[in-house]
């Protein structure tokens, strides 16, 4: 698959994921903890025929030595990271967190999703694409 085909495939998959995010947001609204949205989104993604893994481990390396492990909220189809928040506003630190996950996994797309407001907020974070 060439770069243009990969980009189109990721865009199409991202669109499907965003549809699932809106379905969860429209149904639940705001005001719950992140875990509630994570569980609901897992159900919605899977019912849409997508592979979704919760709390997916990501090893962090420094000079070829593992120095820590983080857990991304949801990994979709082994290629898109979903980082969920339930806060008043997204911050630059949240975006940095997503970029670090992308660097550690060598993946290209992370969706930063905030369910903490009346209207769900979705930011697409891209690494080397």
> What confidence score (pLDDT) does residue 4 get?
85
Decide if pLDDT at 29 tops 90: yes
| Each residue's pLDDT tens digit, 91-119 | 999 999 999 999 999 999 999 999 999 99
pTM of the entire structure? Answer: 0.94
Burial of 60 (0-12, 13-18, 19+ CB in 10 A): middle
In sequence order, the β-bridge partners of residue 116 are: none
| pLDDT value of position 117 | 94
CB 129 within 8 Å of CB 99 = no
Strand-strand pairing, 65-76 and 121-126: unpaired
């Amino acid at each position: 698959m060439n770069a243009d085909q990969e980009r189109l495939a990721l865009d199409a998959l991202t669109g499907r994921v965003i549809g699932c995010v809106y379905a969860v947001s429209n149904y639940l609204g705001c005001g719950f903890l992140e875990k509630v949205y994570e569980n609901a989104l897992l159900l919605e993604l899977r019912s849409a025929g997508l592979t979704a893994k919760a709390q997916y481990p990501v090893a962090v390396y420094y000079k070829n030595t593992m120095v820590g492990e983080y857990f991304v909220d949801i990994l979709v189809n082994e290629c898109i990271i979903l980082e969920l928040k339930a806060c008043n506003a997204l911050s630059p630190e949240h975006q940095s967190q997503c970029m670090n996950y992308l660097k550690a996994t060598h993946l290209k797309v992370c969706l930063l999703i905030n369910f903490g407001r009346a209207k769900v907020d979705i930011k697409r974070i891209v690494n080397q694409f």
